Chain A
Amino acid sequence: MYFSRWKALGIILTTLVVCAFAVPNFFPEKMVQSWPKWAQRHIVLGLDLQGGVSILLEVDVAEVRKDKVNSLREDVIRVARENRLGSNPTIRGNTVEFRVRQGADPALALQKLRELSQPLGGVLGTTGQRTVDVVDAGTGVIRLTPTEPAIVERVRQAVEQSMQVLERRLNFTGTVEPSIQRQGVDRILVQVPGLSDPQQILDILNKTAKLEFRMVDQSVPPDQVDPNNVPPDSELLKGTKADNSQLYLIEKRILVSGADLTDAQPGFDQRTNEPIVTFRFNNNGARRFAQVTTENVGKPFAIVLDGEVLSAPVIREPILQGSGQISGSFTVESATQLSVLLRAGALPAKLTVIEQRVVGAGLGQDSIEKGKLASYMGAALVVIFMFVTYGLFGLFANIAVLFNVAMIFGVLSLLNATLTLPGIAGVVLTVGIAVDSNVLIYERIREEVRAGRTPISAIDAGFTRALATIMDSNITTFIAASVLFYIGTGPVRGFAVTLGIGIITTVFTAFTLTRLIVAMWVRWWRPKTVPI
């Protein structure tokens, strides 16, 4: 039961420092912001307590694969044309199949097509993997398939780019403190605290916003086009207006795309006072747009957004200054939204919402109040019971538990961890369990006293013998908490965090603080009997 002065000081200091990290949580955020950076760490309230929107998006891998196969086909066509190798390739599943023209050299074809396969750059440089599998299937047939690593790499890039685009979109709409995180290979978790209308967020998150300027194909009037026999270089597209089932026949060739935009702003048409979106091209886009409009005066072109025609105006005069406007029966809101989407850029792939959780601010506030009440009641009940059962030693245990809880909040702040309602339950449970270590020790002391030991030796034996048991029992619970942390998300993970931290602080206090308190009591009072 002997603690050197330094050891005692060390224990007290460690405890106080860890507790001190919880301090910023008790001050208003405005005030904390003026403190030094290291003192600003605080607990983040989970969305279930704060209210907010959490949306899990997934990149459509099938679509990425399809895009990849399509662009591979384009490449094969180009190579075949350049080298006069044969006709157009066909797509079979995930494979591009190319038949070498009679009289062309199959070996040359194979060699030229092999050049389409690039070495795949990994994080550590080349990994020996390539982007395309090129197989000679014999009898002049060559099969090309994008490799799995190439698809994965493309998905990874798509997720990264999408995250940047989403961040810009959320920033442009003035969303407060959005959090955008990657999850796994193909997923993005977007969380916006304080917001309770998910529609607002959903509207700007899962739109691809791919803007294209293309020519309208006037060879056949759109209402006379046979859907099964569309001209090969054109496609039938719908208009954006919900009530408008008008179809447009649009050339597949993209003249200028949204990637060449530098700015887009909502505005009003000076003549009709209709909401519009004005845009400006970069140099490259402006040059191309000028060229196209010069060559096609009098013909209609189409502004296509995500495969739907926004409008198809006739080019009245060449547009040389590199700016223009889109009108298409917008409302003020939809014009603002489109300009945000255009400014932030297009998503590189389609994102699908696969999970969505929204908690209203009112419910969050209710949960906080209930959590608080339950914590106070739980703590009070446990503290009273411990005092009734163990008297003075119960008081020691209660002091230790008090510091234990303060330390849990300190560690949570230090980690900037998220506190959820199940997390609060975890803290309350820790209070119940933290006293278990004291109970183990005290029961052991009672036994040793009964066995006829002197007070000091009984206390010493009680601590020493109980500690192994405390370790064993807490490690198993810690294993369970770790697994829970690994598999859980959101609120459940919050529970795992507080439970896990609670176990560590419990073991710490049992080994050091409780022991120190009892040791100091023994030293000052020199008890003849143990009041336990």
Chain B
Amino acid sequence: MRLLRIVPDDTKFDFMRFRRISFPISALLSILAIGLYFFHGLNFGIDFVGGTLMEVQSKAGPADIAKMRSTLEGLGVGEVQLQQFGGPSDVLIRLAQQPGGEEAQQVAVAKVKTALGDTVEYRRLEVVGPRVSTEFLTSGTLGLMLAIVAILVYLWFRFEWQFALGAMIANVHDLVLTIGFMSVMQIDFDLTSIAALLTILGYSLNDTIVIYDRIREMLRRYKRMTMADLLNVSVNATLSRSIITHVTVTLALLALLLFGGRAIHSFTATMMFGVVLVGTYTSVFIAAPILIYLGVGVGRETQKDEGAP
């Protein structure tokens, strides 16, 4: 049987040449993503801003959203968002955080339930009070920071500091771009998104580390190769693995995206963008070449004259 070779055995692609393009592009995209975050904003879900989320299914065929909207808006429960969700009879109702503390949320839910009565089936109900949502936001942000620091420390311990720093820059770049993507797509930013971001962090690092491991090995083995050549050889040597692994992860994510249902749709979409699109690009075009700028292998070219006085 002839086996599939996605990447030919003797690939010698000059990746390092692209750093003059990839670095400015990444910088630009990162600034754009940060700008999006501040000016376009994230679509924060109730986990972080509090409020009520209800998924209802109309019992009598397709739901009349316009009628529901007018019913609910007359209740005096503040801003009400209605959205078709899945089938024509499924509606997602979102109430903003009610002023007046924890108990006010329950009162609003009771009002909506009375108004809709028995015309719908309640498939899901989530009420997050002001206190819990504030805590989720703090612990979510803190968790991301903590993960970044913990991984940085581990890498510092396993590699030289330049590698740790390089990996960190590359992966914070991944997170920033993913957050930009979530802002553009207005994906619900909730606890699951934090899970997606942390997983992206883990997997992008996974990729970066595979390349770094190879670079470290090459640094020990070839004392006289120039840094750019060495990085190119390393990236090319791991290219086949990177691509095959990403194909398998993409296949797994694709299955989740297509068949996993609405509940994890935004989670898989975010992962797809972060792991597959950004993560791969980053480890090859950012994480590897950045080592040159961080001063790994400085003075290697002069080592050719090692024997000279």
Q: Which residues of A contact B (CB under 8 A)?
A: 48, 56, 58, 196, 198-199, 202, 352-360, 362-363, 366-367, 370-371, 373-375, 377-378, 381-382, 385-386, 388-391, 421-422, 424-425, 428-429, 431-433, 435-436, 439-440, 443, 446-447, 450, 465, 468-469, 472-481, 483-484, 486-489, 491-492, 495-496, 499, 531-532
Contacts and interface: CB of A to CB of B under 8 A. Distances in A.
Contacts of B261: 366-367, 370-371, 374, 421
Given A360-B123, A374-B259, A377-B258, 16 more contacts: A354-B102, A355-B132, A363-B124, A381-B251, A422-B195, A425-B256, A425-B268, A432-B250, A433-B206, A433-B249, A450-B9, A465-B217, A472-B158, A480-B151, A483-B146, A483-B147
B228 interface: no
Interface residues of B, number: 77
B255 A428 contact: yes
B253 A432 contact: yes
Contacts of B27: none
Contact of B205 (A58, A356, A359, A477): A477
B103 interface: yes
Interface stretch (B17-25, B35-43, B64-72, B136-144): B136-144
Contacts of B55: 363
B4 interface: yes
A430 B199 CA distance: 11
Contacts, number: 228
Name the residue among A355, A375, A478 with the largest chain B CB count within 10 angstroms. A355
Chain A binding site: helix, strand, loop or mixed by DSSP?
Answer: helix
B154 interface: yes
A468 B209 CA distance: 10
Nearest to B190: A492
Contacts of B258: 374, 377
8 closest cross-chain pairs (CB), A and B = A378-B255, A432-B252, A477-B202, A370-B261, A480-B202, A487-B143, A381-B251, A377-B255
B260 A371 contact: yes
Name the residue among A198, A472, A532 with the largest chain B CB count within 10 angstroms. A472
B150 A483 contact: yes
B264 A421 contact: yes
A382 B248 CA distance: 6
B128 A389 contact: no
Contacts of A474: 206
17 contacts: A48-B263, A358-B126, A360-B122, A362-B123, A370-B261, A374-B256, A374-B260, A377-B258, A378-B253, A378-B256, A432-B249, A433-B245, A439-B248, A473-B205, A484-B198, A492-B191, A492-B195
A435 B248 contact: yes
B195 A479 contact: no
Given A355-B128, A473-B206, A479-B154, A389 B198 contact: no
Interface string B109-130: 0100100000001111111110
A487 B140 contact: yes
Chain B binding site: helix, strand, loop or mixed by DSSP?
Answer: helix
B225 to A, nearest CB: 17
B162 to A, nearest CB: 16
A499 B199 contact: yes
A341 to B, nearest CB: 18
Given A373-B259, A473-B205, A495 B125 contact: no
B221 to A, nearest CB: 12
Interface in B1-45: 1, 3-4, 6, 9
Nearest to A53: B125
Interface string B231-247: 00000011011001101
A360 B103 CA distance: 23
Nearest to A56: B132
A377 B257 CA distance: 11
B155 interface: yes
Nearest to A370: B261
Contacts of A432: 248-253
A54 to B, nearest CB: 9
Interface string B207-225: 1011001100100000000
Nearest to A503: B202
Contacts of A353: 102-103, 105-106, 127, 129
Interface string B174-213: 0000000000000000011011001101110111011001
B192 A422 contact: yes
Name the residue among B6, B147, B260 with the largest chain A CB count within 10 angstroms. B260
B254 interface: yes
Nearest to A198: B125
A354 B132 contact: yes
Nearest to A386: B248
A371 B260 CA distance: 5
Given A389-B4, A487-B140, A491-B192, A480 B210 contact: no
A359 B121 CA distance: 11
B267 to A, nearest CB: 7
Contact of B203 (A202, A465, A477): A477
Contacts of A360: 121-124
Given A371-B260, A385-B247, A476 B206 contact: yes
Contacts of B247: 385
A391 B3 CA distance: 6
A371 B199 CA distance: 19
A475 B154 CA distance: 9
A424 B267 CA distance: 12
Contact of B139 (A355, A487, A491, A496): A487
Contacts of B123: 359-360, 362-363
A134 B55 CA distance: 55
Contacts of B113: 199
Contact of A440 (B143, B241, B259): B241
B195 A484 contact: yes
